[in-house]
Amino acid sequence: MEASLTYLQPDVAAQVATMELRARLVVEGFMTGLHKSPYHGFSVEFTEHRPYTPGDEPKRIDWKAYGKTERFYIKQFEEETNLRTHIILDASGSMGFSSGKRLTKLQYASYLAAALGYLMVEQRDAVGLTIFDESVRTAITPRATRTHLKQIWKELEHAAPGRKTRTAGALHQVADALTRRGLVIILSDLLDRPDEVITAFKHFRHKGNEVIVMQVLDPLERSFAFDSDAVFRDLETREELMSQPWHIRESYQGAMREFIGRYEQECRDNAIDFVLLDTATPFDRALMEYLHRRSRWH
């Protein structure tokens, strides 16, 4: 495996000591791998360009960039790149789950949030962070400075799963507080009442925000591939249930597909990007989703 791809693996990022180093490792690996994308040949300088779209003034085409890539790019002015992004992280009890030696869902989502923040600040975009469980626990206003980013990394480093969740209530709380439109990225397992959560997603859209929902699950939560009797403990209520998983695996998998499909369909119907991730998914998929949404912002 190429080194740049190795750095995008969650288990590799987990071996790095600090959130800042994890973020740098992931983003630099991602940037190195961009030679396979439309940004071929740009390395870091692609942050100052966007693809040409019909309606752009031809005089703004960067011909040096065309000579390197044989693609048309528009040189952006700094004021065009000031996107305000709010990363909203679920830190409820269920996010503390992991199977085998994998990262917990909260660790995975925190590493991803740290990398997204780094990429945003490199793009001269402002980034903020909200952490919630039953209500909002942490709220950091978006800014585009390195000092601000370090504060976000510090909060992510110490994020720990709480107990119960009230996803919809917390999201409404955040949406109510937004005074300027921007990009909202929600990182959560979404293990809550879909009707209520989807209504909260719509609240962000109603206020003019672009929204990306990244559902983070553990692979075992999707496969239910237990091969022996198991005791299931609710991470939020601590209730326990003894079960023989293979007897209900097929019906569980069907219910989980329906559960995920409901979120996916509702997001599509409301012009919300939906990204399904599990804790074994390389980080580049989520980073690319951010870049795609950012390119449409202008």
Contacts of 112 (CB under 8 A, 6+ apart): 187, 214, 216, 277, 283, 286
Which region holds residue 163: left if phi is over 0, alpha if psi is between -120 and 50, else beta? alpha
Q: Which of 25, 54, 79 is the last residue of a domain?
A: 79
Which CATH number fits the domain that encloses residue 180? 3.40.50.410
What is the domain extent for residue 213?
A: 81-297
Helix (H) or strand (E) holding 136: strand 136-143
Could you tell me if 44 and 56 are in contact, meaning their C-beta atoms sit under 8 angstroms apart? no
Both 118 and 248 in one domain: the answer is yes
Q: What is the pLDDT of residue 223?
A: 66
Q: What is the pLDDT of residue 239?
A: 65
CA-to-CA distance for 36 and 88, rounded, in angstroms? 30
Contacts of 45 (CB under 8 A, 6+ apart): none
User: What is the CB neighbour count within 10 angstroms for residue 297?
Assistant: 14
In order along the chain (298 residues), what is the average pLDDT of each group of 10 residues?
68 91 90 56 45 69 75 60 88 92 95 95 90 95 92 96 90 95 96 96 96 95 63 55 58 87 97 94 89 70
Q: Calculate the dihedral angle through the C-alpha atoms of 88, 94, 100, 103, rounding to the nearest 10 degrees.
A: 20
Q: What is the pLDDT of residue 38?
A: 44
pTM of the model: 0.79
Contacts of 25 (CB under 8 A, 6+ apart): 7, 12, 13, 16
Task: Give the count of domains, the chain.
Answer: 2
Q: Which of 79, 114, 141 is the last residue of a domain?
A: 79
Both 45 and 86 in one domain: the answer is no
